[in-house]
Structure 1
Amino acid sequence: MSDHSKKLGVVALVAMVISSSIGSGIFGISSDMAGSASPGAAIIAWLIVGLGVLMLCLSLTNLIAKRPELSGVFSYAEAGFGPFGGFISGWGYWLSAWLGNVAFATMMMSAVGYFIPVFSGGQNLLSIIVASIILWFMCFLVNKGIESAAVINIIVTVCKIVPLLIFTIIAIISFKADIFTANFWGTLSGNFEVKSVFSQIQNSMMVLMWVFVGIEGAAMMADRAETKAVAAKSTVLGLIGLLIIYILISLLPYGLMDRQTIVQFGQPSMGYILKELVGPWGAAMINIGLIISIFGCWLSWTMLPAETTLLMAKQNLLPKKFGEVNCANSPTFSLVFMTILTQLFVFTLLFTEKAYNFAYSLCTAAIFVTWIMVTMYQVKFSYQRHENVQLLIGVLGCIFFAWAIYASGLEYFLLCFTVYILGMYFYAKARKENGCERVFSKKDLIVAGLIILGAIFSIYLLVTGQIAM
Structure 2
Amino acid sequence: MDKRVRLSAAGLMAMVIGSMVGVGVFSLPQALGKSTGVVGSLISWTITGSGMLILALIFQRLAWRKPELDVGVYTYARVGFGRYTGFLSAFGYWCASCLGNVAYLVLIKSALAIVVPSFGAGNTLSAIVSSSVMIWVFHFLILRGVKGSSIVNASMTVAKLFGLALFAVLVLASFRWQLFVANLWTSPEPSTAGLFAEVRKTMLGTAFVFLGVEGASVYSRHARERRDVGVATVLGFFCVLALMVIVTFLSYGVLPLEQLGALKNPSMAGVLSAAVGAWGAVVVKLGLLLSVLGSYLAWTLLAAEILHAAGQSRTMPAFLARENRNHVPVAALWMTSLVIQGFLIVTLFSKEAFTLAKEFTTSMSLIPYLLVAGYGVRLASSGESYAGQPWSRRVDFVLALAGCGYALFLVYAGGLHYLLMSTVLYTAATAWFYLAERRKGKRPVFTLRERWLFIVVLLAALVAFVDLARNHFSA
Which residue does the alignment assign to 2:86? 86
Could you tell me which residue of structure 2 aligns to residue 389 of structure 1? 395
Which letter does structure 1 place at the counterpart of 2:67? P
Encode CA deviations 1:218-251: one digit per residue, 9 max, x unaligned: 35577847684x7655543432322211011122
Amino acid at match of 1:249: V
**What secondary structure, in the 3-state scheme, does the structure 2 residue paired with 1:37 have?**
coil
TM-score by length of 2: 0.89
What's the offset of the Cα at 1:319?
A: 1.0
Instruction: Report the CA distance shift for 1:317/1:69 in structure 2 as closer, same or farther (over 3 A).
Output: same
- Code of the residue aligned with 1:421 in structure 2: it is T
Deviations 1:146-187 (A, max 9, x none): 764454234312331122111111222211122122242323
Q: Quick one: which of 206, 211, 214 aligns to 1:213?
A: 211
Q: Is the 8 A contact 2:143 2:330 kept in 1?
A: yes
Q: Deviations over 1:359-411 (max 9, x none)?
A: 01111111111111010011111111162221111111101100101102321
User: CA separation in 2, counterparts of 1:58 and 1:261?
Assistant: 37
Q: For the structure 1 residues 248 and 462, does the alpha-carbon distance in structure 2 shift closer, same or farther, using more than 3 Å as the test?
A: farther
What's the counterpart of residue 360 of structure 2? 362
Structure 1 residues 7 and 303: alpha-carbon distance in aligned structure 2, compared to 1, 3 A threshold:
closer
C-alpha distance in 2 between matches for 1:202 and 1:463:
28
Instruction: Say if 2:442 is the partner of 1:436.
Output: yes
Identify if the C-alpha distance between structure 1 residues 37 and 148 changes in structure 2 by more than 3 Å, giving closer, same or farther: farther
SS of the residue corresponding to residue 185 of structure 2 reads: coil
| Partner SS for 2:460 | helix
> Structure 1: how far apart are the matches of 2:219 and 2:336?
25
Show the 5 A alignment for 1:54-453: 54-73=53-72, 74-143=74-143, 145=145, 148-187=148-187, 189-191=188-190, 193-219=191-217, 224=223, 228=227, 232=230, 235-326=233-324, 329-385=327-383, 387-453=393-459
Query: Equivalent residue of 1:353, what SS?
Result: coil
1:220/1:102 Cα in 2 relative to 1: closer, same or farther (>3 Å)?
Answer: closer
The alpha-carbon distance between structure 1 residues 226 and 313, as it changes in their structure 2 partners (threshold 3 A), is: closer
Cα distance in 1 between the residues matched to 2:244 and 2:425:
31
> What's 2:387 paired with?
none
Corresponding residue of 1:3 = none
Distance 1:56-1:110 versus aligned 2 partners, 3 A rule: same
Shift of 1:136: 3.2
**Cα deviations by residue, 1:165-221 (Å, 9 ceiling, x for unpaired):** 11111222211122122242323x433x21111111110011111111110113557
Q: Is the 8 A contact 1:50 1:243 kept in 2?
A: yes
| Preserved CA contact (<8 Å) 2:426 2:457 | yes
Query: Tell me, which stretches of 5 or more residues in structure 2 are unaligned?
Result: 1-5, 384-389
Paired with 1:338 and 1:179, the residues of 2 have a C-alpha distance of 46
Give the secondary-structure state (helix, strand or coil) at the position aligned to 2:310.
helix
Q: Distance in 2 between matches of 1:337 and 1:14?
A: 26
Q: Closer, same or farther in 2 for the Cα pair 1:370/1:161, shift >3 Å?
A: same
Q: How many residue pairs align between the two structures? A: 457
In 2, Cα distance between equivalents of 1:428 and 1:109: 39
CA RMSD of aligned residues (A): 2.5
Shift of 1:325: 3.7
Unaligned runs of 5+ in 1: 1-5
For 1:245 and 1:283, the matched residues in 2 are separated by: 19
C-alpha distance in 2 between matches for 1:204 and 1:421: 29
Letter in 2 for 1:354: E
Structure 2 counterpart of 1:314, one-letter code: Q
Q: 1:356 Cα shift?
A: 1.0
Deviation digits for residues 247-268 of structure 1, max 9, x if unmatched?
Answer: 1112221111112212222221
- State the TM-score, normalized to the length of structure 1: 0.90
Q: CA deviation at 1:135?
A: 2.2
Note the C-alpha offset of 1:354. Answer: 2.1
Contact 1:121 1:266 in 2 (8 A): no
Check conservation: 2:98, 2:340, Cα contact below 8 A: yes
Shift of 1:331: 4.1
Counterpart secondary structure, 1:416:
helix
CA distance in 2 between counterparts of 1:462 and 1:298 reads 30
Alignment CA distance shift 1:460-1:376 (3 Å): same
Offset at residue 464 of structure 1 (A): 4.0
CA separation in 2, counterparts of 1:464 and 1:159?
47
Moved more, 424-433 or 329-338: 329-338
Q: Against the structure 1 CA distance between its residues 238 and 307, is the aligned structure 2 distance closer, same or farther, given a 3 Å change threshold?
A: closer
What percent identity do the matched residue pairs reach? Answer: 28
Deviation at 1:303, TM superposition (A): 2.8
* Equivalent pair of 1:414/1:458 in contact (CA under 8 Å): yes
Q: Name the SS for the 2:109 alignment partner.
A: helix
Q: CA deviation at 1:27?
A: 1.1
Counterparts of 2:8 and 2:129, CA distance in 1: 42
Check whether the contact 1:114–1:287 (CA below 8 A) recurs between aligned residues: no
**What secondary structure, in the 3-state scheme, does the structure 2 residue paired with 1:215 have?**
coil
Aligned-partner residue type, residue 359 of structure 2: S
Do the aligned partners of residues 314 and 99 (structure 1) sit closer, same or farther apart at CA in structure 2, a change above 3 Å counting? same
> Closer, same or farther in 2 for the Cα pair 1:155/1:285, shift >3 Å?
farther
Shift of 1:343: 2.4
Distance 1:63 1:456, change over 3 A: same
